[in-house]
Structure 1
Amino acid sequence: MSILDITVVSVALNTFVKEFDATTAQVAWTMTGYTLALASVIPLTGWAADRFGTKRLYLLAIVLFTLGSALCAVAGSLEQLIIFRVIQGLGGGMLMPLGMTILTRAAGADRVGRVMAVLGIPMLLGPICGPILGGWLIDSASWHWIFLINVPIGVIALVYAFKALPADHVEPSETFDWLGMVLLSPGLAAFLYGVSMVPETGTVWDAEVLAPAAIGLLLVIAFVPWALNGRNKHPLVDLTLFKNRQMTVAVIAMSLFALAFFGASLLFPMYFQVAHGETPLKSGILLAPQGVGAMLTMPLAGFLADKIGPGKVVIPGIALIALGMGMFATLDSDTGYAFLLTALFIQGLGMGATMMPIMSAALATLKEHQIARGSTLMNIIQQVAASAGTALFSVLITNAFADRASTALATAGEDESKVAEVLRKFGINPEAIPDVMAKFPDDVAWAFQGAFVVATILVVAVLIPALLLPRKKMVADADRPPVMVH
């Protein structure tokens, strides 16, 4: 639910504009509010899991997410919808690290690769299925159903989790890091808010971006010496985990991967909608080859990561992703669907052999008392990297498109200033692109081509830390259960 919900709502933004008679910038808060709540609650999850137990906290997370979904479905105004999305985000932020901590504790280190391979399938399919599901629900019913669909699933999950998960046996001993919370949670929220405003402003140099991002970054930086202070026995986030070389290398690899993959994921449906005039629903369906490729290689990659080491699996996986992304970097106005779908399938094959084995390399090294804190740390890093990737590629495509369009429109004698204003909003609402741009297919292709070149370079950069990943079988250790993140 939490994975799908991020992309499902993105399809409904244009519907919200019409439904609530609002601007694109205003309805974008339905996504920004969710992201900020997510970022704020993740740092608290590690301490809360140790203090109250993973089962109790997981049940609370399901309740918050399901309740937030039900409230969103009955929202009568945009302001209410944004507030209810924050409630939903508070639950979603805890679901990810808690769910994976519970699952991988039960799996054992010798099976971490195979377990993550199975669990990784919905993680990769979420960004693909989200637009399809959202488009279908909006077209066949109404926008309310993109939230209502979570309610019965949430109730089933709550009942099953209550019965199936083992009871918590906790002995609370850790004090709460109040100063850490004051520094880190608002810091992450402010930084991600600034980053999320980049697509709206079109530049990182706008005060609306720089001010909150700088304040947030300063708060996060101030947290570092406090967390490493020897007198602080139980910091909100355990930064000493970075002393583990294997985990540090894998975290770097995962950060680069999240930056490239989640950022570039924004481009594919946008390309089909703008360059080929497809609907959100059909553009989502066209991404299916990527999911098929991932499902084919992911189970095998998980098995091999356990047997021969993740390093030997990740490197060819990255090579396949780079090949598929590089094919998109050569597209022009005449590029056919056969070429594009083949490129997506190749990327899917690579992704199935990349994301989860990278996690295996780090997560199997954590000891029992580190599991919840390690999951929290990696969720924070991945969330920041994914948000930065989305902002980066939004700006790249928006500015490249606007630059090419301005020249083409001026040459054609169109009203440049009027259309340029619409193009500035391109990264948030692709459907706002005027029909006049259909006259300039070469310029549209050129704009996307440049963004895909950057994505290809970032994917290739993942090879640097990947070369340092373990290339032999990871030995299971009963004292070191693994942890997994979304």
Structure 2
Amino acid sequence: MINANKKLKVSYFSIKREAINLQKQGSTALESVEQQADEKKLMWILMVGILAPLFDTTITNVAIDTLVRDFNTSVSTIQWVMTAYLLALAMVIPFSGWAVERFGGKPMWLFSLGMFLLGSVLCSLAWNVDSLIFFRTIQGIGGGLLMPIMQTLAVRASGGRNMGKKMATVALPALLGPILGPVVGGLIINHLSWRWIFFVNIPLCIVAIIMAWKGLPNEQRRTRTLRLDLLGLMLLSPAIVLIIYGLGEVSLSHGFGHAAVLVPVIAGLTLLAGFVVYAVRKGNEALLDVRLFRVRSFTVSAALLFLSGLTSYGAMLLLPLYFQQVRGESVLLSGLLLVPQGVGMLLTRSLAGKLTDQIGSRPVVLAGTLLTMLGTWPLTQLSGDTSYYYLSAALIVRGAGLGAVFLPVMASAYIGLSSKQIPHASSTTRIMQQIGGAFGVSVIAIILQNELNSVMSHDPAIVAVAFDHTFIWSIAFSTLALIPAALLPRIKR
């Protein structure tokens, strides 16, 4: 009887312990489901918020000729409508990391959207080219803050888990921009006033602000007294602006040796070197933590983001020029002909994110780079009457490769970083992309100009050869990217 009671008691406690364990597991599973739901909600809010600035750049680019005619001015003057936006965007990127830490992600996201909305409204009401250039600066301040803040909020929400999948989600607008932007811009320019290229931003921004106001979590700011590193800001922001401005003058000055290029670039590099020396001494109180470059995965990712300017941005300059200069197509049709590359990027987006989480970024980026080179090779065989079906197939392959490169690289940049380092990483990676893009466009533009000068002909078949040779250089730059790609991290089994 005693033994039976003992057995019953043991059985009772075993069942109770099991019930408690099951309750804990159920509670953990419920928390996990709720956390995943909150992360998805956050990603959608961020995606909607970033749509307007990503579409704005590509839409505005196709309106240059229309703005020249309507304002009765020169192309070089109208170019400042784009340049002012890019310089303002670059200027505020270093400020974004400190701002998120000091004021919190949600307030800064709302502030950035508000600035972009204000700039869009003012641009749509511009009465002359000077006012439009000034209002584009206001718009650029908002646009420059949005991207690094979005990356910081997305990475912090994920807690470093499934980074490939998270980057695949938040990067969707970045892939849609190049696809739909030129098409939307062409439709607006053909059928509506130029003011509508800014009007379209207004409803997007309003919806994004409402969603963020209601849906973004209120953070507890842990660094209310964090001081802005003014000296670091005075060194770094002008450095980035001068470098990007100088590189933007390359195509206008027909080379890197012109004073209009050398003076700002050298001045910018000098300020940048001064900031690095200063930041090393300042430590974690510096505007940007340069000690991030001690982390191999971050350094390699930053190098690849810079090189993407040569492999991606440069080629994006070549394709519309080929369609318009060699084939004589309109701006709208040129935009439509670029859609297959965007479709290719969409095709590999989810797979690249999933594989990055499963096998690491190294094999995915290496495969993506080789696929990009494969898709670019047909572009080195262009003629004056190359089949558009053939070009579309090549662009789908090229886009698939680009989609498999960008997402894993961005995910790798955050591996091994603390929560406090994430805003610094977001700002730094964005800076590398901006400078790399400006450098890539400048290099490709000069190579193309030299090739065009060498053929000295207006025959489309001969001019196409200049584009062929320039695309060969693009493949060579992709080959260069294989070196840092081989140094990316892989999943340890």
Compute the TM-score of the two structures, normalised by the length of structure 1.
0.88
Q: Which one has a bigger Cα radius of gyration? A: 2
Change (3 A) 1:473 1:126: farther
Deviations, residues 216-235 of structure 1 (Å, cap 9, x unaligned): 11111111100000x45411
> Do residues 247 (structure 1) and 298 (structure 2) align?
yes
Q: Where does structure 1 differ by over 4 angstroms across 4 or more consecutive aligned residues? A: none
2:388 maps to which of 328, 331, 337? 337
Superposition CA RMSD, Å: 1.4
| CA distance in 2 between partners of 1:67 and 1:362 (Å) | 32
For residue 287 of structure 1, the aligned residue among 338, 342, 355 is 338
- One-letter amino acid of the counterpart of residue 233, structure 2: M
Greater Cα shift, 254-263 or 51-60: 254-263
TM-superposed deviation, 1:443: 2.2
Distance in 2, Cα, partners of 1:452 & 1:72 = 36
The reply on whether 1:377 has 2:428 as its aligned counterpart is yes
Alignment of 1:207-218 (within 5 A): 207-218=259-270
Letter in 2 for 1:283: S
The alpha-carbon deviation at position 102 of structure 1 amounts to 1.1
Counterpart-to-counterpart distance in 2, 1:156 and 1:279 = 33
Matched, 1:443 2:462: yes
Change (3 A) 1:473 1:121: farther
**Paired letter, 1:378:** T
Residue 182 of structure 2 is matched in structure 1 by 131
Q: What secondary structure is seen at the aligned counterpart in 2 of 1:468?
A: coil
Equivalent residue runs for 1:69-148 within 5 Å: 69-148=120-199
Checking the alignment, whether the CA contact within 8 Å between 1:308 and 1:471 is kept in structure 2 is yes
Q: Secondary structure at the match of 1:368?
A: coil
Q: Does 1:204 align with 2:269?
A: no
Give the distance between the partners of 1:272 and 1:293, measured in 2 at CA. Answer: 19
Q: Name the CA distance, whole Å, in 2 between partners of 1:367 and 1:138.
A: 46
1:456 and 2:475 equivalent? yes
Q: Is the 8 A contact 2:308 2:433 kept in 1?
A: no
The equivalent of 1:278 in structure 2 is 329
Contact 2:232–2:287 (CA under 8 A) maintained in structure 1: yes
Q: Kindly provide the amino acid, as one letter, of the partner of residue 382 in structure 1.
A: Q
* Structure 2 residues without counterparts, runs of 5 or longer: 1-51
Q: Is the CA contact 1:127–1:265 (under 8 Å) kept in the aligned structure 2? A: no
Q: Which residue of 1 aligns with 2:273?
A: 221
Cα distance in 1, alignment partners of residues 71 and 449 from structure 2: 25
Determine the C-alpha separation between the residues in 2 that align with 1:76 and 1:398.
35
Q: Per chain length, whose mean CA-contact separation is higher, i.e. which structure has more relative contact order (CA < 8 Å, sep 6+)?
A: 1
1:367 is displaced (CA, Å) by 0.9
Separation in 2, partners of 1:470, 1:134: 40
Deviations 1:378-397 (A, max 9, x none): 11111100111111122222
Give the distance between the partners of 1:391 and 1:19, measured in 2 at CA.
28
Query: Which residue is equivalent to 2:83?
Result: 32
The residue type paired with residue 255 of structure 2 is: T
Establish whether residue 153 from structure 1 lines up as the match of residue 172 from structure 2: no
Deviations 1:83-142 (A, max 9, x none): 000000000000000012112221232221111112223212312322111111111111
- The 8 Å contact of residues 137 and 146 in structure 1, kept in 2 or not, is answered as yes
Structure 1 residues 298-328: Cα deviation after superposition (integer angstroms, max 9, x where no partner): 1011111101111121111111100111110
Q: Is the 8 A contact 2:238 2:268 kept in 1?
A: yes
Distance 1:120 1:176 in 2: 30
1:243-322 matches, cutoff 5 A? 243-322=294-373
Greater share of helix: 2
Secondary structure at 2:221's aligned position in 1? coil
Residue 433 (structure 1) aligns with: none
Q: How far apart, CA to CA, are the structure 2 residues paired with 1:344 and 1:309? A: 26
Q: Is the 8 A contact 2:413 2:425 kept in 1?
A: no
> Take 1:384 and 1:194, find their aligned partners in 2: how far apart are those partners?
11
Q: Say if 2:212 is the partner of 1:193.
A: no
Q: 1:233 to 1:251 in 2, by over 3 A?
A: closer
Alignment correspondent of 1:365: 416
**Superposition pairs for residues 52-63 of structure 1, below 5 Å?**
52-63=103-114
CA contact (8 A) 1:121 1:294 kept: no
Question: Of residues 217, 235, 239 in structure 2, which corresponds to 1:166?
Answer: 217
Residues 401, 443 of structure 1: 8 Å contact kept:
no
Q: Is the 8 A contact 2:96 2:145 kept in 1?
A: yes
Residue-by-residue CA offset, 1:225-257 (whole Å, 9 max, x unaligned): 00000x454111110000111111121122212
1: distance between equivalents of 2:94 and 2:307? 21
Q: CA deviation at 1:473?
A: 5.8
Contact 1:48 1:57 in 2 (8 A): yes
Please identify, of 395-404 and 285-294, the stretch whose mean Cα deviation from structure 2 is larger.
Answer: 395-404
Distance 1:352 1:201 in 2: 33
- Percent identical residues: 40
| CA distance in structure 2 between the aligned counterparts of 1:363 and 1:218, rounded to whole angstroms | 28
User: Is the CA contact (8 Å cut-off) linking 2:168 and 2:407 kept in structure 1?
Assistant: yes
